[in-house]
Chains A and B, each alone.
Chain A
């Protein structure tokens, strides 16, 4: 109950700063130029879904190392600014390893202090990418994973559904030893990776098989647990920003289409039934934006309610993005059901994101615990 009072007092800035607007503009311009929908669609069926060339260009804008300190080669900003980039990457369903490398792996490494300075430097420069070896469906409040065992500094086990692992150079692997949870750094060269056919065409997932893989210990015990948890909270927060971007694209594209598609001698957007649908969607998207800004601001400031705000955002924005993309498909009619129209890329991203890092159901449960609203 004390927590609740604090939420309203801490007053996160919910607007976008000038720095954020500029960052958004440059990312949007680059994506429009280098990663338009047609080229994303063309990529998804090649064996190089992840656009590594685009990632290098994003590195020049600092996107690869936003929250990494300047002395390590990063941009030295916070997850708040990073969340604006996540919105833009969502708007463009860009197949780049932002979530896996620049958010999940980076946040875990940052939580570990100096132990991984070198890796962070290389990630910031865009020279390498990393992945956090957990199933992407893992919610922030999940128990520490135990599918990988550590024996004398070597790791054995499997991890399924890992995001951005196929193109990663380094894996950050949660593992257990008799003494408890640990976090290791493993080179992907020492791990068997197999691609999963993912529902989200623009986001490759992989299953990992480790067989006595040589590993470098980064943290153990509470430090390892803490690092993983903060990575998942950062991940859930930035995922909701991505979902906001997906929802925005869907809303804007649908509004434009309904202004120009004529049936019955008038634009179909003139039918009140559709206007009300889009008005409702706009309301949902603007609420999503407030929740996303709130979550990003609070995780950036290191607030103790960052976890609560991440779950709050996830519990709402997941559904908002799914709703927006479902409406986009429906309101485009037959063309929305085709492969050639990009709407399906967004639908698949939205539905898959709704499961990533915990379903809305899972986050509502977490919230209920955090705000003391037990079931019985």
Chain B
């Protein structure tokens, strides 16, 4: 990555000026959002820490929030970007780190503008926490790779243009060594996306069957056999999002409970009050820890601390939404809508308390389970010895399934 010195003259006030000049030239009120974002990308104001020409200015990561904040202040808040979490949060940093110049040119801009949605073809029925056990095979055939296998729990697969995909290219070496990472065209022949319904009633995620899917070698990300290393970059970024704003006090689910508490005195009891206040304090502790991490991140790369933040966030979401139902009492025994359908793009917070409770159950499974995240804290932060592994030095094909 270009070092900050390349644009050493860029400081917060210089960036604010750039944003102001940009907004003056592209009125957010009259410019189409995609055009606006495309121009913003070209101006290097998408993610300022990326290199020039790739949406950034080679500026310190810390300055991204200055830029985001300034755009917001000047009236530009992009909408409808909830489908971009995987593209922005995972694909982009991975492509930046491992992509060839051509790949970066091809993929980053439409990813940023939202014209192309991304999904993550990692998990398989037999490989979840143990991602490195995956068995989707990619076999070289001329300039292409031919891919066969099944992926599961794939969020957004039904909307995605592209996927980040991890495959097994060499079954004869230990599992961490024989993987290769690709960018997969979700519209390619042989990609079959089937909805999977989840306990909320909706189908946010999918099963994806890959049958003789041809992927050009030019869509390989990283070296052959380097898939694990590339996937680690993706996963580290999964748990922290680029830039991001400081979250306000009572910004998350605790804010919803606090609002109910303030507006509906008839529900109040001393016991619930105590439970709410405990969670309120924990929510502040988690929020400020996350803010601290955000500030740290602004000057470095995501590390295992992101796992800790994600772990606290999912636990809190679950406890707070559980309390919300009990606070609501009789109303908490109802639900808004069980219809089997794709998510309607309705804000999480606008759904009923039952939905908050149920959806947040997924938080401690998606993006690495809370158990795996605790292992990461214990082993990578605390340096405790890992479990004795029986699967690390055996050829993948000889592992018990």
Contact = CB atoms under 8 A, between A and B. Distances in A.
B333 A265 contact: no
A199 B337 CA distance: 10
A365 B333 contact: no
Nearest to A322: B322
Contacts of B354: 199
A266 B390 contact: yes
Interface size class of A (residues with CB under 8 A): 35 or more
Interface in B327-349: 329-330, 332-338, 340
A347 B183 CA distance: 38
Interface string A54-82: 00000000000000000000000000000
B364 interface: yes
Contacts of A205: 333-334
Contacts of A340: 197
Nearest to A362: B269
Interface in A287-320: none
B262 interface: no
A161 B333 contact: yes
B326 interface: yes
A355 B394 CA distance: 51
B198 interface: yes
A136 B333 contact: yes
B129 A273 contact: no
A272 to B, nearest CB: 9
Given A45-B338, A198-B335, A359-B329, A265 B399 contact: yes
Interface stretch (A8-16, A101-109, A121-129, A326-334): A326-334
Given A351-B325, A351-B357, A200 B333 contact: yes
Nearest to A138: B330
Interface centre among A326, A338, A375 (most CB of B within 10 A): A338
Nearest to B131: A263
B365 A337 contact: yes
B335 A199 contact: yes
A59 B126 CA distance: 44
Interface in A323-376: 326, 329-330, 333-334, 336-340, 343-344, 347-348, 351-352, 354-356, 359-362, 364-365, 375
A355 B329 contact: yes
B387 interface: yes
B272 A264 contact: no
Contacts of B275: 361
Contact of B387 (A271, A338, A344): A271
The SS class assigned to the A binding surface is mixed
A137 interface: yes
Interface stretch (B16-24, B64-72, B367-375): B367-375
A375 B370 CA distance: 37
A198 B365 contact: no
Interface in A119-166: 135-137, 160-161
Contact of B271 (A136, A266, A365): A365
A351 B352 CA distance: 15
A274 interface: yes
Interface in B98-132: 123, 126-130
Contacts of B269: 361-362, 365
A197 interface: yes
B265 interface: no
A340 B151 CA distance: 17
Contacts of A278: none
B362 interface: yes
B333 A339 contact: no
B318 interface: yes
A330 B364 contact: yes
A336 B365 contact: yes
A360 B329 CA distance: 11
B361 A338 contact: no
A201 B333 contact: no
A93 to B, nearest CB: 14
A351 B322 contact: yes
Nearest to B269: A361
B385 interface: no
A262 interface: yes
B152 interface: yes
Contacts of A360: 326
A322 B332 CA distance: 14
Interface in B246-291: 269-272, 275
B365 A352 contact: no
Nearest to B273: A361
Given A265-B390, A334-B153, A347-B199, 17 more contacts: A45-B338, A198-B333, A199-B334, A263-B128, A264-B387, A264-B389, A265-B130, A333-B365, A333-B369, A334-B128, A337-B362, A339-B197, A352-B333, A355-B329, A361-B272, A361-B275, A375-B270
Pairs of residues from A and B, 9 with the lowest C-beta to C-beta distance, nearest first: A265-B391, A344-B199, A361-B271, A137-B330, A263-B130, A339-B197, A334-B153, A199-B354, A265-B390
Interface of B: 123, 126-130, 133, 152-153, 196-199, 201, 269-272, 275, 318, 322, 325-326, 329-330, 332-338, 340, 354, 357-358, 361-362, 364-365, 369-371, 374-375, 387, 389-391, 394, 399-401
30 contacts: A161-B330, A161-B333, A161-B334, A197-B334, A198-B333, A198-B334, A265-B133, A265-B391, A265-B399, A271-B371, A271-B387, A326-B361, A330-B369, A333-B128, A333-B129, A333-B365, A334-B123, A337-B198, A338-B196, A338-B198, A339-B197, A339-B201, A339-B340, A340-B197, A343-B199, A347-B358, A347-B361, A351-B332, A352-B332, A355-B329
